[in-house]
Structure 1
Amino acid sequence: MFEAEADAFRRAGIQIGAAASDDEENLMREALAPFGVARRNRALEMARLYAVLFCFENEIREFIREALEEKEGLDWQDKLPPKVKEHAEGRRATALKDTWLEGEKADLLGFADFGQLAQIIIAKWDHFKDVVPTQHWLKQRMDEMEKARNFIAHNRMLLPSEFQRLYMYIADWNRAIGL
């Protein structure tokens, strides 16, 4: 009963109890406490970049999914470039065998590699040419971003100039597709 009443106050903008962000900050501080300050600071810097890349990559997947579903119908997955489809199906089959590993397993596009996303767009160029500036523009940025993304995925620190390049490319993409 209290939760129902407290929820009404929260929706009205009145804070009830401790702020969730404070709890998250305390959990993060506690989890990182055993490590040195320099390593913690670098980790937090990389965590912000990872969050941006996570959103970016999944936004591209959604962009492709929506465009292909609209232009090719509900069976759009069957019409993916054969090598991309085969690769994604293989990775999904492996994930389904790993029953202990929970998470999204239904979305075939989620099993395509980052670099394959550009391949899909280029292979289906007629569906994307009105939004994406050029194939060269797409390929050049996605190739560079894939290298940086893989660096991040393997817990390597990037230089500040690389941070800026990634943020710039993501901003370019967002402008191009209207985000």
Structure 2
Amino acid sequence: MFEAEATSFQKAGIQVGADQTASEQQLLTEALAPFPVNLRNSALEMARLYSVLFAFENHVRGFIRETLSEAEGSDWLDKLPRKVRDFAEKRQKTAMGDSWLEGEKTDLLGFIDFGHLSQIIVEKWEHFQDVMPSQHWLKQRMDELEKSRNFVAHNRALLPSEYQRMYMYIADWNRVVGL
């Protein structure tokens, strides 16, 4: 009963319980402590960028899911481009076989590469054209974001100018889709 009430207070912006921010910061500080200062500082910058990319990429997946589900019905996944769907199904099957690896394995869209996201939107353009300025606009931003995203995903540091480009393109997307 308390948990149900606490949740409604939290949704209203009222803090209930301990603030975990300080303890999370302490855990991060302890985990990074053995490494040199320059690596710690780079790690914190990259963590911020990774967080933004994580939210962005998963928002795009959700946007596709919501748009296609509404436009094509509950079987929208079956209507994805064949190569993209086959790729995702193969990855999903591999993940299911890795029984020791815990995590979300049921969402097929989660197994699609970042680059496939714009392919899906372009392939299903009739459902996205009222929101997106143009296919060129979409592909340019998503192609450049993918290259930078892959640097981040493979733990290679980017220069601050690349951070700014990524933040700018993500802000463009957010403005276009109404976030």
1:4–1:167 distance in 2 versus 1, CA, 3 Å = closer
| Residue aligning to 1:93 | 93
Q: CA shift at 1:4, angstroms?
A: 9.6
CA distance in 1 between counterparts of 2:137 and 2:152 reads: 23
Q: CA shift at 1:9, angstroms?
A: 9.2
Counting aligned pairs with the same residue, the percent is 69
CA RMSD of aligned residues (A): 2.5
Q: CA shift at 1:18, angstroms?
A: 5.1
Aligned residues: 179
Query: Which residue identity lines up with residue 26 of structure 1 in the other structure?
Result: Q
Query: Which residue identity lines up with residue 167 of structure 1 in the other structure?
Result: Y
Q: Under a length normalisation based on structure 1, what TM-score does the superposition of the two structures give?
A: 0.92
1:130–1:8 distance in 2 versus 1, CA, 3 Å = closer
CA distance in 2 between counterparts of 1:155 and 1:39 reads: 11
| Residue aligning to 1:102 | 102
The reply to whether residue 65 of structure 1 matches residue 65 of structure 2 is yes
Map Cα deviations across residues 14-60 of structure 1 (whole Å, 9 max, x no partner): 87775311100110111000011111011000000000000000000
Using the TM superposition, name which of 14-23 and 3-12 deviates more: 3-12
Q: Unmatched 5+ residue regions in structure 1?
A: none
Runs of 4+ in 1 over 2 A off after TM superposition: 1-19
CA distance in 2 between counterparts of 1:151 and 1:18 reads: 36
> Highest Rg: 1 or 2?
1
1:22–1:83 distance in 2 versus 1, CA, 3 Å = same
| Residue aligning to 1:28 | 28
CA distance in 2 between counterparts of 1:140 and 1:4 reads: 45
| Residue aligning to 2:149 | 149
